Amino acid sequence: QWHDASNVSKIVPYNPDNPLLNPVLTAIFQQAALKVVNGDEDLLPDAMVKNCSNAKHGDYQCQSAMPMFAAMKKSGNMPATIKSPKDVAQAIIDHLDPTHLAVIENISIQGPGFIVCSITKSYLQSHLIKWLASGVLPKPPIPQTFECVVDFSSPNIAKEMHVGHLRSTIIGEAVCRVLEFVGHHVHRTNHVGDWGTQFGMLIQYLKEEYPEVGQEADGGELPNITDLTVFYKNAKQRFDESAEFKKTAQTNVVALQSGDKECLKIWKMLCDVSRKEFQKVYNRLDVTLEEKGESFYNDKIPAVIQEFDQAGLVKIEEGGAKCVFVTGHSIPLMLQKSDGGYGYDSTDMAALKYRLQTLKAQRIIVITDFSQGGHFEMCYGAADEIGWLTSGQRLDHIGFGTVMGEDGKRFKTRSGDTVRLVDLLDEAVKRMEDSLRQRITDGKANITEAEVHEVAEAIGYGAVKYFDLRRNPTTNYKFSYDQMLDTKGNTAVYLLYARVRLESICAKAKADHGVDVEELLKAGEVPVLEHPSERNLAKELHLFAEVLETTLDDLFPYHICEYVYNVSIAASDFVTQCKVLGVPEMKSRLLLCHATMVAMRQCFDLLGIRHVKRI
């Protein structure tokens, strides 16, 4: 939630240049409604308009007549001419400013007093012309840009990245891109698990198995631990089997925390090996992260504990653990364990303070699986209680659901192991390569064998991402290659093909008709919205800024997926119903194709999906 939301007047100024429709329509209806109630703002409801769920009825609806009627009745200020909400609706319509009819038309009253209207072609056209000329889709206006921290991906050193980290990585990258697109500065933070007791056993195991490591002054070559999961498993096995090993492992933890040179060297080496593996995945997925792992906060923890202590918020639990109880939670945050060590809670509180006070983040977003929701609620609650939050700061946790196999159980390999991320990505690409080769064999492809791998990577990774992003992150889903690679469903594959089809229409226009879209743009040609499917496409396109605004608020990238899918459906409807090439409307229609391509590409960029020019 936003901390300390400020009170603002509900009266919205009329600004027809606003790329968001909702405030434009709100202003239009507010102005008329205010005249009906003789300027008494208090008699107007907070929300004036909403999208019509069924486009057949119209684009927008103002549902204020009913609450206004009730409020007027209560205030005792009811004009004699008004007997029902319907009369209020009619009065609003009668008071509409005539110049506003450039924006809305087909105004009618439905049901008990809903005012339904549609957006005029000329309004949609004027906005379309403007953004075609600038080449970029309009952004929602934001009051100010600020510092954000997005904590995502965040795998653990010496452990394999699994499908849960994939979700965090994919969602986090999209969230960062949306925030950056509107101008915010984002710290793309990889809070890797690079500290903690497990390093005692890992260091000990490495010392035993690779005695030569760490001896050279410069730390020597990186050990060849290609499969870190196996390394981790073996270390754990030694730890569980041998009491002696366990003991030495524990002394290593103490040594590491107190800065022992050799332990630090080995620790760093293990981190480097993991880091290299993680980076390979990030490179494949076009993900950018700055590593600031748990170890970074280690020396910042004592001051945090002291601060809570001085505020009288620390309770010493049995065994001596230092705990902070947060209102509304039965279990406490543990700032220090009974053995004096620091844990996950300690680190996250130090991280929170650092992000709020040193980075001066206005918005902090952590993306993990849903099971950590309570943990972050407590951290945020404690930050509030200690007084770290200032007005306007907002803290979020996106808790995503579980990825399941097609059997409906937790996603596992046939042998029951967790699925390695790299294998999963390889498989998506391999399947895409097979299907592209089939297209080449069938003579349907516009690419050669030499391009297959690159295109398969773009589509394969795009498909994996879109399959995740297109739903509410809080839901669980079944991982299905068949579904995500389906050329007909709501998939990245379908969308990428749809965009390529438009691309080939434009290419044909140039080759067969000598009409170049870029030239049309330079010459200031404008799209005309005559046919209903043209107008409908323009309307779908227009919703971009709205969709972005919604995404900025709830941080769910699925709004963008819905948008790009709806645009693509409207575009396919348009090219089915309207001939583009060789007709008198060719220029106008090519511009619509071009606008759609720009919009789709922009969405792919925001979702982290590479676009392809030919398939």
Which residues of this chain interact with ligand ARG, rule CB under 6 A? 151, 154-156, 191, 193, 348, 351, 366, 368
DSSP per residue, 515-536: --HHHHHHTT------SHHHHH
CB of 116 to ligand ARG, least distance (A): 47
Count CB neighbours of 344 within 10 A: 16
Closer of 24 and 365 to ligand ARG (Cβ): 365
Which structure tokens are listed for 275? 């880091």
According to DSSP, the β-strands at 114-119 and 185-190 are unpaired
CA–CA dist 406, 392 (Å, integer):
43
Pick between residue 155 and residue 214 the one whose CB is nearest to ligand ARG.
155
Q: Name the residue among 280, 276, 347, 290 with its Cα closest to residue 176.
A: 290
Name which of 159 and 501 has its Cβ closer to ligand ARG. Answer: 159
Q: How far is the CB of 154 from ligand ARG (least distance, A)?
A: 4
**What is the smallest separation between the CB atom of 366 and ligand ARG, expressed in angstroms?**
5
How far is residue 67's CA from residue 85's CA, in Å, rounded to a whole number? 8
Instruction: Determine phi and psi for 126, rounding to 5 degrees.
Output: -65, -35
CB of 370 to ligand ARG, least distance (A): 12
- Minimum CB separation of residue 309 from ligand ARG in Å reads 23
> Within 13 Å, how many C-alpha atoms sit on residue 41's CB side?
7
Q: How far is the CB of 151 from ligand ARG (least distance, A)?
A: 5
CB of 473 to ligand ARG, least distance (A): 15
Distance between CA atoms of residues 376 and 278, nearest Å = 25
Question: Shortest distance, CB of residue 34 to ligand ARG, whole angstroms?
Answer: 48
- 398 Cβ contact list (under 8 Å, min separation 6): 171, 175, 365, 366, 367, 368, 473, 555
- What sign results for the dihedral spanned by CA atoms 261, 193, 555, 425? positive
**Residue sitting closest to ligand ARG (CB):** 154
Q: Which residues contact 601 (CB under 8 A, 6 or more apart)?
A: 499, 611
Q: How many CB atoms lie within 10 A of CB 390?
A: 12
Cβ-based nearer residue to ligand ARG, 124 or 301: 301
Closer residue to ligand ARG (CB): 67 or 193? 193
Q: Kindly state the smallest distance separating residue 469's Cβ from ligand ARG, in Å.
A: 19
Nearest distance from residue 376's CB to ligand ARG, in Å?
8
Tell me whether residue 272 is exposed, middle or buried, using C-beta atoms within 10 angstroms of its C-beta: 0 to 12, 13 to 18, 19 or more. Answer: middle
Count other C-beta atoms under 10 Å from residue 557's C-beta. Answer: 28
Minimum CB separation from ligand ARG for residue 56, in Å? 46
Which is closer to ligand ARG, CB of 397 or CB of 535? 397
Give the largest CA-CA distance in the chain.
96
- Lookup: tokens for 55: 């486009």
Chain centroid offset of residue 564 CA: 14
DSSP 304: H
**200 and 249 Cβ atoms separated by less than 8 Å:** yes
**Distance of closest approach, residue 401 Cβ to ligand ARG, in angstroms:** 14
Distance CA 296, CA 359 (A): 14
Q: How far is the CB of 531 from ligand ARG (least distance, A)?
A: 51
Cα angle value 146/151/153 (rounded, 5°): 140
Closer CB to ligand ARG, residue 270 or residue 606?
270
DSSP 3-state assignment of 186? strand
DSSP character string of 431-486:
HHHHHHHHHHHTT--SS-HHHHHHHHHHHHHHHHHHHHHTS-TTS-EE--HHHHT-
Closest approach of ligand ARG to the CB of residue 293, in Å: 9
Cα–chain center distance at 143 = 20
Rounded to 5 degrees, φ, ψ at 591 are: -65, -35
Chain centroid, CA 548 distance in Å: 10
Closest to ligand ARG by CB, 151 vs 396, is 151
Nearer to ligand ARG, 156 or 295 (CB): 156
Q: Is 107 helix (H, G, I), strand (E, B) or coil?
A: strand
Give 386 or 571: the residue with its C-beta nearer to ligand ARG: 386
Residue 26 or residue 154: which is nearer to ligand ARG going by CB?
154
Distance from C-alpha of 229 to C-alpha of 241, rounded to nearest angstrom? 18
58 or 193: CB nearest ligand ARG: 193
